[in-house]
Chains A and B, each alone.
Chain A
Amino acid sequence: MAGDPAAGKPGSAVAGKPESAARTGLGQGPGRLLVMVYGVFTVAAASRSIYQLIAQYHEAPLAYILSAVSAAVYAFITVSLVRGGEGARKAAFVCCAAELVGVLTVGTWTLADPSAFPDQTVWSDYGMGYLFIPIFLPVTGLMWLRKARRG
C-alpha cells in the first residue's frame, strides 16, 4: 500500500539492466489512483482471508480460499504497478484479465449456487459488498495498462 517499498530490492532486479531505464511509469498519473485502490483491496482481501482462514476455516473454506486467491492477485497487480516496466505491465495485464474472469466466475457462481458459499468473498455477487468496485477495477486496470504502452 505504501509508495515504494517493493521497488528497492536489489536481489530481484534484472541483472545488468539499470532499473530506472526500464520504467514506464505505470504508477504515475492515473496509475497512482489505481495503485491506491489496488493497495486498499490487497489489504482488505488479505487481512479478511487471513483472519477467516485462521479463526473460522470450517465455516466456509471455499469462500475463504477464494478470498485468499483474490488477495494474491491484487497484491501482484499492486506491486507490478509500482515497479513499472514493460515486463511488469504485461504481467499486470494478464493478472487484471484473470481478475476480471475471477469476478465474473465467482459472481455467477455465488448467484447460481449460494449453498456453496455460507460466507461472503470479496467477489461474491460481482463484488456487491464492496460497492461493485471489484468488477470495475479490472476493467479500469486493463484500460490503463493498454494506454500505458502507447504513452
Chain B
Amino acid sequence: MIDALTVALGATALLLAAWCGFAAYRDQPTKDWHFIGMALVALLAVVQLVIGVVRLVGGADPEQGVAIFVAYLIGSALAVPIAGFMSLAERTRWGSATVSAAAVVLAVLEVRLYDIWGGVGG
C-alpha cells in the first residue's frame, strides 16, 4: 500500500513539475488549475504521512530508522504547499519555476522514502 502510494506520488510530482515548468517556460504565473494540481499532490502526501504514522504505530519498522522515515514524510507533506504559497506571492514565471523545483524535490524525497521504508511489503 505505502509502496504503491510512494510510486504514485513520485509520478504525480514529476507531472506537476513538468506542468509548472511548462508554465514557467511560457512566461506564465501559476493559475487556478495549477493550484488544483498542487492540492491533489499535497493531499496525496498528507495521506502518505498519515498512513506512514499509522503503520509505525502498528509496529512496522522502516529499514533505515524511524526518525529518518518520519522526517522524510513530513518534508514530503510540506514541500508542495510551501512552494504553492511562494507562488501566490510571486505572480510571475518564477513562481511557476519555484513550484516546479519543489515538485522535483518531492519526487526525489519519494525515491529516498522508498529506500528508507526498505520494501517491507504492503
B contact residues around A3 at 8 Å (CB): 82, 85-86, 89
Q: Determine chain A's interface SS by DSSP, over half rule.
A: helix
- Which of B11-19, B40-48, B94-102 faces chain A? B94-102
A contact residues around B97 at 8 Å (CB): 30, 33
Residues of A in contact (CB 8 Å), total 19
Q: Mark B31-71, 1 if CB is under 8 A from A, else 0.
A: 00000000000000000000000000000000000011001
Contact A51 B98 (CB under 8 A): no
Q: A residues touching B (Cβ–Cβ < 8 Å)?
A: 1-3, 28-33, 35-37, 39-40, 43, 47, 51, 55, 131
A contact residues around B94 at 8 Å (CB): 29-33
* Docked complex: B74-90 residues within 8 A CB-CB of A: 75, 78-79, 82-83, 85-86, 89-90
B contact residues around A36 at 8 Å (CB): 82-83, 86, 98, 101-102
Residues of B in contact (CB 8 Å), total 21
Please indicate which of the listed interface residues B78, B85, B95, B101 has the most CB atoms of chain A within 10 Å of its own CB. Answer: B101
B contact residues around A2 at 8 Å (CB): 82, 85
Question: Could you tell me the distance between the alpha carbons of A23 and B101 in the complex, rounded to whole angstroms?
Answer: 25
Contact B105 A29 (CB under 8 A): no
Q: Closest A residue to B72 by CB, please name it.
A: A47
Contact A32 B68 (CB under 8 A): no
Question: Could you tell me the distance between the alpha carbons of A39 and B86 in the complex, rounded to whole angstroms?
Answer: 12
Contact B89 A32 (CB under 8 A): yes
Question: Which 4 A-B pairs rank lowest in CB-CB distance, beginning with the nearest?
Answer: A32-B90, A36-B98, A33-B98, A33-B97
Contact B90 A29 (CB under 8 A): yes
A-B contact pairs, 10 of them (CB 8 A): A3-B89, A29-B92, A29-B94, A30-B97, A32-B90, A32-B94, A32-B95, A35-B86, A40-B105, A131-B108
Please indicate which of the listed interface residues B67, B90, B92 has the most CB atoms of chain A within 10 Å of its own CB. Answer: B90
